[in-house]
């Protein structure tokens, strides 16, 4: 089918264009890893955590954040995500952790960049706060000892939060 069209109108890969490079500029159009940003937010010695499994169906906690929207900087995306998920406003600092995970069954692969953040206002969300997208249903602050007793991903988050470390968590399977 060299020189033909695929569904969706993209030209098919021809002899001079490798499979997956189906854009006239030669850019790779294959699905790649999703990029996300997360905030490592400590206040009064406690780490902000969220649970994004509605109805208490999982005991897995993580740092607030989410997918990056094109055309917006990583820090701007993080400010938006933290506000959506927790009702809090943060100032974004330096990166401190890169994590990646995948789901072999679906092929989903996410690369997360964690930034140290500090609260720009009060340390508690408004009493009537609700995640507008309905993703996060529980938010908590945990001290270091308490956090070590929780199931938190990525594995290095607790260590990084209470240190000056810069870390990379290698590719791991998606946890639920």
Q: Indicate the class that CATH gives domain 34-173.
A: alpha beta
Residue 38: what are its φ and ψ, rounded to 5°?
-140, 150
Residue 166 phi/psi, 5-degree rounding, is -115, 125
At 21, the pLDDT band (50, 70, 90 cuts) reads very low
Q: Which residue has the tokens 């500029």?
A: 25
Tell me the pLDDT tens digit for each residue of 52-111.
776 767 899 999 999 999 999 999 999 999 999 999 999 999 999 999 988 888 889 999
**Distances in whole angstroms, Cα of residue 75 to Cα of each of 69, 82, 86, 141:** 11, 11, 16, 22
Kindly state the DSSP code that residue 63 receives in the 8-state scheme. Answer: -
Q: How far is CA 45 from CA 62, 76, 155, in A?
A: 17, 25, 19
What does the pLDDT read at residue 29?
Answer: 57
Evaluate if pTM is beyond 0.85. Answer: no
DSSP 13: P
């Amino acid at each position: 089918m060299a020189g033909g069209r695929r569904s969706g109108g993209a030209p098919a890969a021809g002899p001079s264009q490798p499979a997956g490079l189906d854009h006239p500029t030669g850019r790779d159009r294959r699905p790649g890893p999703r990029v996300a940003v997360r905030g490592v937010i400590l206040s009064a010695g406690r780490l902000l955590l969220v649970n994004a499994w509605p109805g208490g169906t999982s005991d897995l906690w993580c740092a607030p954040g989410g997918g990056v929207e094109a055309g917006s900087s990583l820090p701007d995306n993080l400010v938006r995500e933290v506000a959506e998920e927790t009702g809090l406003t943060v100032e974004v600092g330096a990166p401190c952790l890169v994590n990646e995970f995948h789901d072999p069954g679906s092929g989903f692969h996410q690369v997360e960049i964690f930034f140290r953040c500090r609260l720009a206002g009060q340390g508690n969300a408004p009493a009537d706060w609700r995640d507008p997208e309905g993703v996060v249903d529980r938010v908590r602050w945990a001290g270091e000892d308490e956090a070590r007793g929780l199931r938190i991903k990525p594995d290095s988050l607790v260590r990084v939060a209470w240190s000056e470390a810069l870390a990379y968590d290698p590719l791991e399977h998606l946890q639920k």
